């Protein structure tokens, strides 16, 4: 089926849940309705590499932008204007992970920032200001031993970036940690022994899986500014559970 080119003023389908984003051809990123209608593709010629697929396509919270990886480059497309930005270009050499995006992108709650992991460091990119900064994560550890898709997240208030932190030994996992996106950029270990976590779509509940076994649910507000370990935890009944996801 031939995909039509984008119009000069794209008409957006209002509800995010009624649109699907996917990898097009020649480096394009596309959206459509679930029934295959209202297809629109956004050209990224000159800033993306057509040799690579677009992957990890992620909607912004309000459904106005799409962030994705073109190869190992970070791209963002504004669906209203149809324009795309290259926010980060792959700096790696050969098969080295140094300078290469290994996880992300993940939007913050208000859709103004995206977080990615470059090598084993966490970076936050501001969409409107076109600038980025490295987050302080203390001891990071070997992220490749764990599911990269579950490594990054944001607290409900958007002030803390969440990730799984390693110990002094790269084979050791300390647990769920948070770094402040504010000036102090402080790093805190929130929950030791967490090997996977997820936050509900309405950002009210946190579910996490412990290395000792079992899945726990807590109020996600415990992840907000100056977070403390959750005091109210209730086990989620699931025998032989191996992952946590909403």
Query: Lowest-confidence range among 57-61, 75-79, 175-179?
Result: 175-179
Token couple for 103 = 């996880």
Mean predicted confidence (pLDDT) in 178-188: 71
pLDDT in the model for residue 164: 81
Place of tokens 């779509």: 201
Segment holding 187, helix H or strand E: strand 187-192
pLDDT in the model for residue 145: 40
Count of other CB atoms within 10 angstroms of residue 149: 12
Q: Report whether pLDDT(184) > 70.
A: no
Please name the residue ranges forming H helices in the chain.
none
pLDDT in the model for residue 245: 58
* Contact of 108 with 125, CB cutoff 8 Å: no
Higher pLDDT pick, 17 / 19: 19
- pLDDT tens digits for range 18-30: 788 988 877 788 9
Q: How far is CA 27 from CA 12, 38, 41, 130, 185, in A?
A: 21, 19, 10, 22, 36
pLDDT in the model for residue 148: 39
Mean predicted confidence (pLDDT) in 137-153: 51
pTM of the model: 0.76
pLDDT in the model for residue 111: 92
Q: How far apart are CA 72 and CA 190, in angstroms?
A: 30
- pLDDT tens digits for range 101-112: 878 899 999 999
């Amino acid at each position: 089926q031939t995909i039509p080119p984008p119009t000069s003023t794209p008409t957006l389908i209002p509800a995010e849940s009624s649109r699907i984003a996917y990898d097009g051809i020649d480096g394009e990123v596309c959206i459509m309705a679930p029934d295959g209608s209202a297809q629109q593709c956004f050209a990224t010629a000159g800033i993306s590499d057509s040799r690579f697929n677009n992957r990890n396509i992620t909607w912004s919270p309000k459904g106005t932008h799409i962030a994705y990886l073109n190869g190992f480059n970070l791209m963002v497309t504004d669906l209203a204007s149809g324009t795309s930005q290259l926010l980060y270009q792959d700096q790696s050499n050969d098969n080295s992970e140094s300078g290469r995006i290994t996880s992300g992108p993940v939007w913050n709650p208000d859709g103004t920032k995206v977080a990615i992991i470059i090598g084993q460091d966490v970076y936050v990119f501001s969409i409107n200001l076109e600038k980025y900064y490295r987050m302080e994560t203390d001891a990071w550890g070997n992220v490749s031993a764990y599911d990269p898709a579950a490594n990054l997240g944001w607290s409900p208030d958007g002030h803390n970036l969440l990730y799984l932190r390693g110990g002094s030994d790269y084979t050791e996992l300390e647990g769920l940690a948070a770094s402040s996106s504010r000036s102090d950029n402080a790093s805190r270990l929130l929950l030791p022994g967490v090997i996977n976590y997820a936050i509900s779509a309405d950002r009210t509940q946190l579910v996490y899986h412990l290395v000792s076994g079992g899945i726990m649910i807590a109020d996600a507000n415990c992840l907000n500014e100056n977070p403390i370990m959750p005091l109210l935890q209730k086990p989620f009944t699931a025998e032989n559970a191996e992952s946590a996801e909403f």
